Amino acid sequence: MNDQAGLCACGCAAKGEISQAAPSTAEPLTTAQEIGLGLWPLGLAAGLGLVGWLLQSGRIGGGNSVLRWTGLAVLALAWLLAGGPVLRAAWNNLRHGHVFNEMFLMTIASLGAFAIGAMEEAIGVMVFYRVGEFFQEQAAGRSRHSIQALLSQAVDSAHRLAADGSVSDVPAEQVRPGDLILVKPGERLPVDGIVASGHANLDTSAMTGESIPRPATPGREALAGSIVLDGAIHLTCSKPVAESSAAKILQLVQQASHAKAKTELFIRRFARWYTPAVVLVALAVALLAPLLNLGLGLAPAWSTWLYRALVMLVISCPCALVLSIPLGYFAGLGGAARRGILIKGAHLFDALADASTVVFDKTGTLSDGQFQVVALTPAADSDETKLLSAAVAAGQLSNHPLAQAIRGAWQERHGPLPAAASTGFREIAGLGSSCQANGSAILAGNRRWLDQHGIKLPASQPNLDISLVYVAAGGAYLGNITIGDQPKPDAALAVSQLRQAGITDIALLTGDSQGAADRLASHCDIQEVHAGLLPADKLRHFEAIIARTRSRGRGSVLFVGDGTNDAPVLARADAGLAMGSSATDAALESADVVLTGGQPARVAEAIRRARRTRRIIGANIVLVLAVKLLFLIGGGLGLAGMWAALVADVGVALLAVLNAGRALR
């Protein structure tokens, strides 16, 4: 069979696709739509079957031959009504070379039952099979709907503001970057953008999995798909609808349906030899056992052994496996997506579940990536307020991120910025800034900047570090300000949860300075740290970690990052996880998993969910094979009839599907 088909060898549809393309003529025609699912024809077939059985058996009419033949015709009609779509699919499959599939088995079993006089059982095979298919399709449909409802956050129209202030409703696809739109309370943002005016709280749970509303204030980014809870905002579009965060996330989830996990591929290969083997065993039971009886001088009992062979054919269908396993993985994908964990392919569950080593990037991954004042270190004859005040004066007109962080620290500690009273502002890129205030020259910058102005720094000061801002006033050293990004609130928790999950090898690879990396590693309790790395250096160190893990015979290696410089490592990892809230396009493309909320604690959750999904699927495999084997033996020995075969096939399939659905929670 074609490996690209979304079906297993038994012919069961691999339900759980977000969207299913029309089958080509080279693929088995076995999807729920193609076998005509629907309960009303089955109810009619069952009713006709009952009437036909009553007539044909003589329970109505007292054995009148005309009525008996009429009953036989009614039974045939009921069989065609129930099994017609299955017969048609089996014929089309045979025409295209697909023989050993479920349609073939159902057709042969019901035809054989009809031929030996078990007509009500022939109808039962078709009716109960199609009822089972109906409920299995319903279960798959609920899984598809849960993801589509979660991620398909498309908004049909937007309130666009014209230059004269008038508002007009236009299709969301017509909104272009730079357009100003109005979003009212209760409405969903149609595009990504920057808040131009207004204040509101946004429900971002569908996009990030974060339950706490996020404030939307001027200058802040807002993502498409978020809902305005209160107030109204004016949003400047930054990306068209097709490139919005919601659209990209939906594309990632759609890609998930195209990849198959190792266990799932095993089942497809298993079905290719399992189904023909069972057909051969059934033929042996139907032919060899009667011949053996003849050789022993006994009655051949052809009908008895043919019946047992037909029962074995019905039991043998690996429908439960090839339906429940894809659905189990898809349910796992859907359950993870509900928590803001978007896994691009089912094959990645194995890499996540087998993880033994996790390597983190720093900025934007374990830290927030926003410059903030970490520490104030005043000189002996200064204090923190004097140090910070001088730094604010020197950088009050600067747009440099470090100057912005210093102004932010003043506002947090002392409120509004002091009125500008400085003159002669000067800024030199890569060095620092200076000004005149209160008759004194104020300097703020790196060590070289103060050295150039003859400021003597204490010998105990560390070497040049871009996160240290040195400050002087009137030729006297006032102290230094340590600036860096802060650990994310759940950074330490993320590492702790990984260790609780049995992940003992945790490392940090970053292009940031050694001092900044060491501070974060100490906060998170990470022992292995490699700092100051260019992208090629980061990849080289990561390769060494992989080689070390492989040499120890351990599991897979994960990498968690968000920047363009992380893309090579994300692609190289057994599973690369990108922080969706801050990840660049390159990181999102290279990653296998996207954590939409940007919380590093979701890494451990992704691993736990992958392990749970695999346990559920493993339990299904054991359950189905055990029940099949038991009933196959019973069918061969004559202890299980056609109705028991239906229980073994449809019943265990439904049970396995229901169990697979647990992965959605």
The token pair that represents 338 in the structure block: 């509900």
CB atoms closer than 10 angstroms to residue 440: 16
Residues in the chain: 665
Taking a C-beta distance cutoff of 8 angstroms, is the pair 407, 395 a contact?
yes
- Active-site residue, from 361, 566, 574, 592: 361
pLDDT at residue 248, as a whole number: 66
Catalytic: 361? yes
Using CA atoms, how far residue 109 sits from 4, 112, 283, 409, in Å, is 28, 5, 12, 79
Give the DSSP letter string of 168-211. EEEEGGG--TT-EEEE-TTPBP-S-EEEEE--EEEE-HHHH---
Please give the domain boundaries of the chain with CATH numbers for all domains. 39-148+255-331+614-664 (no CATH), 157-187+192-238 (2.70.150.10), 346-366+488-591 (3.40.50.1000), 369-487 (3.40.1110.10)
pLDDT at residue 179, as a whole number: 95
CB proximity list for 493: less than 8 A, separation 6 or greater = 601
The greatest distance separating any two alpha carbons of the chain, rounded to the nearest whole angstrom, comes to 124
pLDDT at residue 464, as a whole number: 43
At 427, which helix (H) or strand (E)? strand 423-428
**pTM, two decimal places:** 0.60
Q: Which residues of the chain have pLDDT under 50?
A: 1-37, 139-140, 142-143, 146-147, 149-152, 209-211, 253, 256-260, 264, 463-466
pLDDT at residue 143, as a whole number: 44
3-class secondary structure, 359: strand
Of residues 201, 203, 204, 187, the one with CA closest to residue 230 = 201
Give the DSSP letter string of 287-308. HHHHHHHHHTTS---HHHHHHH
pLDDT at residue 33, as a whole number: 42
pLDDT at residue 32, as a whole number: 40
pLDDT at residue 2, as a whole number: 37
pLDDT in tens, 163-193: 888 999 999 889 999 999 999 988 989 899 9
